[in-house]
Chains A and B, each alone.
Chain A
Amino acid sequence: GAVVSQHPSWVICKSGTSVKIECRSLDFQATTMFWYRQFPKQSLMLMATSNEGSKATYEQGVEKDKFLINHASLTLSTLTVTSAHPEDSSFYICSARPGAGNIQYFGAGTRLSVL
């Protein structure tokens, strides 16, 4: 099956610093990748849709200057949380969609803790 790798799985950072999370599709090309945020015991909330070679589309209420998304290749998208604050602490999950298919395959998630 399709595999999506997400790194790191857990990161702790100081308030005010930036953190980069990588999402890679290992055995397929993904023209579209997605970034979600999940709070404890809650569902996934779509933050943005990342298209290879173009600007990401952000959901309403998501600060694009705080959550920078880059999708430079068909297998890699990155999410950078800039000037992180404790309220940014959360579980971030990426997913990737192969070609024009309608299935999303998910990474294992990244737990971000901002001190």
Chain B
Amino acid sequence: AQTVTQSQPEMSVQEAETVTLSCTYDTSESDYYLFWYKQPPSRQMILVIRQEAYKQQNATENRFSVNFQKAAKSFSLKISDSQLGDAAMYFCAYTVTGNQFYFGTGTSLTVIP
């Protein structure tokens, strides 16, 4: 069964510093997609970044980048130059077809001014 594990329930980072959120997953599939979604206090789920498993190059979106280790089934999110607006719950998600999404339990990120 596919599972997504986020082992850090809470993380904190100083403003302007860098933080890495961890995510591991379990799958027997070779082609799949991984996502990081952000859920701020407004509860709106926002897509942060996505990675196709067939791509070796790590995805990057401005200050957000991932470290995708397919063999290790690891998909961590690095936030550089952290800003106050980055404070949110972050969910790692996995899907094969785009229908069934498997979400991790989330990491609550606090940004300290």
Give the segment of A15-23, A71-79, A97-105 that binds chain B. A97-105
Tell me which residues from 38 to 59 in chain A have a Cβ below 8 Å from any Cβ of chain B. 38, 41-44, 46, 49
A73 CB, min distance to chain B CBs, angstroms: 19
User: Is B62 on the interface with A (CB-CB < 8 A)?
Assistant: no
**In the complex, A109→B88 CA distance in Å?**
16
How far, in whole Å, are A108 and B103 apart by their CA atoms in the complex? Answer: 17
Tell yes or no: A32 within 8 A of B by CB. Answer: yes
Q: Does A69 contact B (CB under 8 A)?
A: no
> How many A-B pairs fall under 8 Å by CB?
53
Q: Which residues of A contact B (CB under 8 A)?
A: 1, 32, 34, 38, 41-44, 46, 49, 91, 93, 95, 97, 100-109, 111
Extra contacts besides A93-B43, A101-B98, A108-B44 (17): CB < 8 Å: A43-B105, A43-B106, A44-B45, A44-B101, A91-B43, A97-B99, A102-B97, A102-B98, A103-B50, A103-B98, A104-B98, A104-B101, A105-B47, A106-B45, A106-B46, A108-B42, A109-B45
